[in-house]
Amino acid sequence: MEKRVMITGMGTINPLGNDVKTFWNNLTQGKSGIKKIKRLDLTDMKSIVAGVITGFSPEDILSKKEIKRNTDFILYALWAAEQAMKDSGLDIEKENPNRLGIITGSGIGGIKDIEEQHTILLAKGPLRISPFLIVKMIADMVPGKLSMKYGFKGTNYSIASACASSTHAMIEAFHNIKFGVADIVMTGGSEAPITPIGLGGFNALNALSKQYNDEPEKSSRPFEKNRDGFVVAEGAAIFIFEEYEHAKKRGAHIYAEVMGAGSTADAFHETAPAPRAEGGRRAMEEAVRESKISLEDIGYINAHGTATRLNDKNETEAIKDMFGDHAKKLAISSIKSMIGHTLGASGAVASVASIMAINTGIIPPTINYDEPDPECDLYYVPNKAIERKVDYTLTNSFGFGGHNGVLLIGKFR
Query: Are 208 and 202 within 8 A, CB to CB?
Result: yes
The enclosing H or E element of 49 equals strand 49-51
Spell out the residues 6+ positions from residue 325 whose beta carbon is closer than 8 angstroms to its own: none
The answer to whether 159 and 344 have CB atoms below 8 angstroms apart is: no
Give the end-to-end CA distance of the chain in Å, rounded to a whole number.
19
Q: Which residues are designated catalytic?
A: 163, 304, 341
Query: Phi, psi (5° rounding) for residue 159?
Result: -120, 140
Distance CA 399, CA 344 (A): 8
Query: In which element (H, E) is residue 398 found?
Result: strand 392-399
Provide the 10 A C-beta neighbour count for residue 379: 14
Closest CA to 374 of 296, 295, 291, 316: 316
- Other Cβ atoms within 10 Å of 308 Cβ, number: 23
